[in-house]
């Protein structure tokens, strides 16, 4: 199985020893506490899960600026986006002290992690603008990632953390949420060495399903990891529980047993296009996968990125050898009326637009809202049924 990023062994920051964790929870009662933003809470979950290996906590200002500009920390570790605990107000927080980080996404704001403060530093307006441009390739406040990044403050509290729980992900998605080390253990138990990962924040339509099969076949993989984002999304995206049900039904009915693991991770979507695609590669490598499918407009939103920018970044900006995981570059996939199967458009140069079953997201949502299933060439009927129920319940 592939080794993790930046180290020989995975080092998740979740405190796995029950007695030690209980002692830290007790200690947290006497610490200065702060309710962090949702993005920082998600970062803590990812650090605890091992997906952000080999980081030991939240980045300082120098690392954040260096990562934004050069995709490497001040000491040279390759990393695509800053991992920050940003606050609006850091009053009472001093370097050297321990603080309790409280969860904004769980009732009562329980302690999520304990942080040992290394530094408390402020970003200037110009530095925030520069980081925003580097990460998202835009400063447009209409971009959901840009809006979220610039809405939580400018004070970075850096330092190592000890993670005490996985927020709401473990309780709300007990069958799906998995840490990087749990995925490694499960794949090892199945005897999988070569694994192709598929990232999704949406339900999987027929083209996605076939894309997984293509990659599985082409790289001669032992298995497929369908790895869905379970955290916060922009308005209008399908909720995680609905997506989870739809994907599980598709796998149950249409994939061979023991060829697919359906899992999820606790992170808020950045919609950062190319930079986020590289981040996706980092944490799939940390989960033990050897290949990541990167398709058209991977992790994008609106028209902020070119259709294949998330592929070209791996050629143009990721130094050779920086990552061990390989990228499976996919074109737009759709059902060919001529061939009677899903194909990559680049593979059928004799086809015109009229030769494919193509539906816009808006058209699909309107059909589902009316209780109509999209054509079976576009969406499996079992998946459509789950989505119809969601849209009709939402509109009721």
Mark residue 77 as left, alpha or beta (left: phi above 0; alpha: psi -120 to 50; beta: remaining): beta
Q: Is 353 helix (H, G, I), strand (E, B) or coil?
A: helix
The string of DSSP letters for 274-328 reads HHHHHHHHHHHHHTT-SEEEE-TTTT--TTSS-TTHHHHHHHHTS-TTS--SEEE
Tokens of 104: 């904004």
Catalytic residue among 11, 109, 202, 213: 202
Asked if 201 is an active-site residue, the reply is yes
Are the C-beta atoms of 206 and 377 separated by less than 8 Å? yes
Tokens of 160: 């190592």
Taking alpha carbons only, the member of 105, 359, 142 closest to residue 232 is 105
Catalytic residue among 53, 60, 105, 201: 201
- Overall size of the chain counted in residues: 396
DSSP state of 345: G
Taking alpha carbons only, the member of 278, 289, 294 closest to residue 225 is 289
Q: Which residues are catalytically annotated?
A: 201-202
């Amino acid at each position: 199985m592939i080794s993790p990023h930046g180290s020989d062994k995975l080092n998740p920051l979740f405190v796995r020893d029950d007695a030690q964790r209980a002692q830290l929870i007790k200690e947290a009662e006497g610490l200065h506490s702060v309710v962090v933003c949702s993005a920082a809470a998600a970062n803590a979950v990812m650090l605890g899960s091992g997906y952000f290996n080999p980081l030991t906590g939240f980045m300082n200002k120098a690392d954040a600026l260096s990562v934004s500009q050069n995709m490497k920390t001040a000491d040279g570790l390759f990393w695509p986006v800053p991992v920050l605990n940003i606050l609006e107000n850091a009053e009472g927080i001093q370097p050297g002290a321990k603080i309790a980080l409280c969860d904004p996404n769980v009732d009562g704001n329980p302690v999520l992690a304990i942080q040992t403060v290394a530094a408390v530093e402020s970003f200037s307006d110009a530095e925030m603008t520069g980081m925003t441009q580097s990460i998202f390739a835009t400063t447009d406040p209409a971009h959901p990632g840009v809006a979220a990044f610039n809405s939580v403050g400018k004070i970075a509290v850096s330092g190592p953390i000890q993670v005490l729980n996985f927020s709401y992900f473990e309780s709300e998605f007990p069958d799906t949420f998995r840490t990087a080390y749990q995925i490694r253990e499960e794949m090892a138990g199945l005897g999988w060495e070569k694994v192709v990962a598929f990232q999704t924040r949406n339900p999987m339509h027929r083209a996605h399903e076939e894309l997984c099969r293509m990659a599985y076949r082409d790289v001669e993989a032992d298995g497929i990891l369908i790895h869905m984002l379970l955290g916060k999304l922009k308005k209008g995206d399908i909720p995680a529980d609905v997506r989870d049900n739809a994907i599980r039904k598709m796998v149950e009915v249409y994939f061979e047993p023991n060829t697919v693991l359906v899992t999820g991770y606790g992170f808020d979507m950045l919609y950062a296009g190319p930079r986020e695609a590289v981040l996706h590669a980092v944490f799939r490598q940390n989960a033990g996968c050897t290949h990541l499918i990167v398709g058209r407009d991977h992790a994008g939103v609106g028209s902020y990125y070119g259709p294949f920018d998330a592929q070209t970044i791996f050629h143009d900006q990721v130094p050779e050898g920086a990552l061990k995981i390989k990228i499976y570059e996919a074109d737009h996939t759709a059902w060919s009326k001529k061939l009677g199967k899903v194909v990559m458009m680049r593979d059928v140069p004799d086809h015109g637009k009229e030769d494919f079953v193509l539906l816009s997201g808006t058209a699909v949502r309107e059909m589902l809202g009316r209780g109509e299933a999209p054509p079976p060439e576009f969406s499996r009927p079992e998946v459509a049924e789950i989505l119809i129920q969601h849209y009709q319940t939402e509109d009721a």
